């Protein structure tokens, strides 16, 4: 790369984007206030209200955290192709502390007010008499829940922050071999630390603790991987959306169809991976037909959630499978935008039925409140991500692997 090439490195936030972010946040806040005023009469209603906030905040925390996972995993794999747009997943991952804080507040509020309409294991009377709940009380108790939630969110934020700090060095000066080697080595170490913590949390305990424990009797070891697949594929879609947005605004000169193709491949592959886990979880339970296991699917497959449950499968598996199968569709900006929005929406619906299908078993509560809160989170995400993008150069100029990304060819 010769130094005479000039690129637009500095992202300037368009006024329109800010307006949109504030409008979405405003709509969300209005919905939140209206929901608080009208939907918190009885204890059941309150559980639905808090549950709605809860699945939204968990969804956004996990999919923004998936961005840091993407960086860590490509760093460990010595990947070079993502360097030309790596500042975008980095910017998205700055949302983890913010969404994480909201999640922490919501979850601790539930735990400390003992809202057993959401977490059945918070009901101390039931735990005393119920053998199953007593057996799980070593894992499902307020103390462990609190400590583990704080640790999870805190360490995601801290380790992600350390990765991003290291990335700043790639803006400073050209690296010689020795400096480049040490830079890559430190990247590897920090990425590995993040991955280990990610595996211990998103890959296993956190989805069990935050979401599966709503059905305190039911369990599925597949659940965490399933949640991870869900959040990772939506996370990749979110990255693709930002990449396309910035491309449209004339930034990211080094990023082209080849990179889009690889992002599309991730979206395609992990949609199938998600369906694989969905099916594995479903078929094992269907096959053995044990009442304590089928209870989870009873109201989802045969009850009021039937429509959403199968819509979920169509949006998240059938449509990516058929539309993204062709090479040309993964290289088409319009189609990738459409699919990214569809996939994020589909997995949001998935999170909805995972959480609310257990909190409100009899009625589907999907309505204006859900979309209002969703728009609040989207507005928050747009506002802070664009701010984070503007705070750094868009391309890590002196990253040793940048050339690999520029000449990338799928």
Rule CB under 8 A: choose which of 23, 33, 78, 283 binds other proteins. Answer: 283
State the minimum distance, in angstroms, from the CB of residue 283 to other proteins.
5
Does residue number 286 form part of the binding site for other proteins (CB under 8 A)?
yes
Does residue number 279 form part of the binding site for other proteins (CB under 8 A)?
yes
Q: Judged by CB under 8 A, which stretch of 25-33, 195-203, 276-284, 359-367 contacts other proteins?
A: 276-284
Q: Is 251 exposed, middle or buried (0-12, 13-18, 19+ CB in 10 A)?
A: buried
State the minimum distance, in angstroms, from the CB of residue 327 to other proteins.
7
Q: Judged by CB under 8 A, which stretch of 3-11, 206-214, 221-229, 278-286 contacts other proteins?
A: 278-286
Residue closer to other proteins by CB (options 287, 307) is 287
Does residue number 125 form part of the binding site for other proteins (CB under 8 A)?
no
3-state DSSP of the chain: CCCCCCCCCECCCCHHHHHHHHHHHHHHHHHHHHHHHHCCCCHHHHHHHHHHHHHHHHHHHHHHHHHHHHHHHHHHCCCCCCHHHCHHHHHHHCHHHHHHHHHHHHHHHHHHHCCCCCCHHHCHHHHHHCHHHHHHCCCCCHHHHHHHHHHHHHHHHHHHHHHHHHHHHHHCCCCCHHHHHHHHHHHHHHHHHHHHHHHHHHHHHHHHHHCHHHCCCCCCCCHHHHHHHHHHHHHHHHHHHHHHHHHHCCCCCCCCHHHHHHHHHHHHHHHHHHHHHHHHHHHHHHHHCCHHHHHHHHHHHHCCCHHHHHHHHHHHHHHHHHHCCCHHHHCCHHHHHHHHHHHHHHHHHHHHHHHHHHHCCCCCCCCHHHHHHHHHHHHHHHHHHHHHHHCCECCCCCCCCHHHHHCCCC
Rule CB under 8 A: choose which of 3, 4, 129, 289 binds other proteins. Answer: 289
Residue closer to other proteins by CB (options 178, 287) is 287
Does residue number 318 form part of the binding site for other proteins (CB under 8 A)?
no
Residue closer to other proteins by CB (options 30, 283) is 283
Does residue number 185 form part of the binding site for other proteins (CB under 8 A)?
no
Does residue number 325 form part of the binding site for other proteins (CB under 8 A)?
yes
State the minimum distance, in angstroms, from the CB of residue 328 to other proteins.
9
Does residue number 192 form part of the binding site for other proteins (CB under 8 A)?
no
Does residue number 290 form part of the binding site for other proteins (CB under 8 A)?
no
Does residue number 60 form part of the binding site for other proteins (CB under 8 A)?
no
Q: Using alpha carbons, list the distances in angstroms from residue 79 to 75, 83, 266, 402.
A: 6, 8, 14, 10
State the minimum distance, in angstroms, from the CB of residue 2 to other proteins.
18
State the minimum distance, in angstroms, from the CB of residue 294 to other proteins.
12
Q: Judged by CB under 8 A, which stretch of 17-25, 243-251, 282-290, 302-310 contacts other proteins?
A: 282-290
State the minimum distance, in angstroms, from the CB of residue 314 to other proteins.
15
Does residue number 314 form part of the binding site for other proteins (CB under 8 A)?
no
Total residues at interface with other proteins (CB under 8 A): 9
Q: Judged by CB under 8 A, which stretch of 87-95, 145-153, 165-173, 279-287 contacts other proteins?
A: 279-287
For the record, the structure tokens of 227 come out as 């949640």
Rule CB under 8 A: choose which of 172, 287, 307, 334 binds other proteins. Answer: 287
State the minimum distance, in angstroms, from the CB of residue 86 to other proteins.
23
Closest CA to 379 of 10, 17, 14, 15: 17
State the minimum distance, in angstroms, from the CB of residue 279 to other proteins.
6
Q: Which residues bind other proteins (CB under 8 A)?
A: 279, 282-283, 286-287, 289, 325, 327, 409
């Amino acid at each position: 790369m010769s130094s005479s090439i000039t690129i637009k490195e500095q992202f300037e936030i368009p006024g329109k984007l800010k307006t949109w972010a504030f409008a979405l946040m405003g709509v969300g806040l209005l919905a939140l206030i209206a929901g608080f005023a009208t939907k918190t009469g009885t204890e059941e209603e309150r559980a639905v209200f808090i549950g709605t906030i809860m699945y939204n905040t968990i969804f956004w925390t996990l999919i923004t955290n998936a961005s840091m996972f993407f960086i860590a995993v490509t760093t460990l794999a010595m990947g070079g192709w993502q360097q030309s747009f790596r500042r975008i997943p980095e910017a998205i991952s700055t949302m983890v502390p913010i969404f994480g804080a909201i999640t922490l507040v919501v979850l601790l509020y539930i735990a400390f007010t003992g809202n057993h309409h959401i977490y059945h294991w918070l009901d101390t009377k039931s735990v005393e008499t119920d053998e199953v709940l007593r057996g799980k009380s070593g894992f499902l108790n307020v103390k462990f829940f609190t400590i583990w939630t704080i640790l999870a969110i805190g360490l995601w934020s801290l380790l992600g922050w350390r990765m991003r700090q290291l990335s700043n060095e790639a803006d400073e000066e050209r690296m010689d071999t020795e400096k480049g080697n040490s830079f890559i080595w430190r990247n590897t170490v920090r990425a590995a630390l993040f991955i280990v913590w990610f595996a211990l949390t998103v890959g296993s305990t956190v989805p069990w603790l935050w979401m599966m424990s709503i059905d305190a009797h039911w369990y599925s070891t597949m659940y965490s991987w399933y949640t991870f697949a869900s959040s990772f594929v939506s996370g990749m879609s979110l990255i693709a959306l930002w990449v396309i947005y910035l491309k449209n605004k004339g930034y990211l000169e080094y990023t082209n169809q080849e990179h889009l193709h690889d992002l599309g491949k991730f979206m395609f592959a992990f949609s199938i991976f998600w369906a694989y886990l969905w099916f594995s979880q479903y078929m094992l339970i269907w096959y053995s037909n044990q009442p304590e296991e089928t209870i989870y699917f009873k109201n989802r497959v045969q009850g009021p959630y039937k429509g959403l449950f199968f819509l979920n499968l169509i949006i998240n598996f059938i449509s990516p499978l058929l539309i993204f199968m062709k090479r040309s569709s993964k290289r088409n900006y319009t189609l990738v935008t459409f699919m990214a929005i569809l996939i994020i929406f589909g997995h949001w619906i998935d999170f909805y039925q995972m959480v609310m299908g257990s909190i409100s078993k009899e009625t589907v509560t999907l309505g204006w409140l859900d979309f209002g809160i969703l728009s609040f989170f989207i507005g928050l995400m747009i506002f802070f991500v664009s701010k984070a993008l503007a705070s750094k150069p868009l391309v890590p100029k002196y990253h040793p692997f940048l050339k690999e990304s520029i000449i990338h060819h799928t």
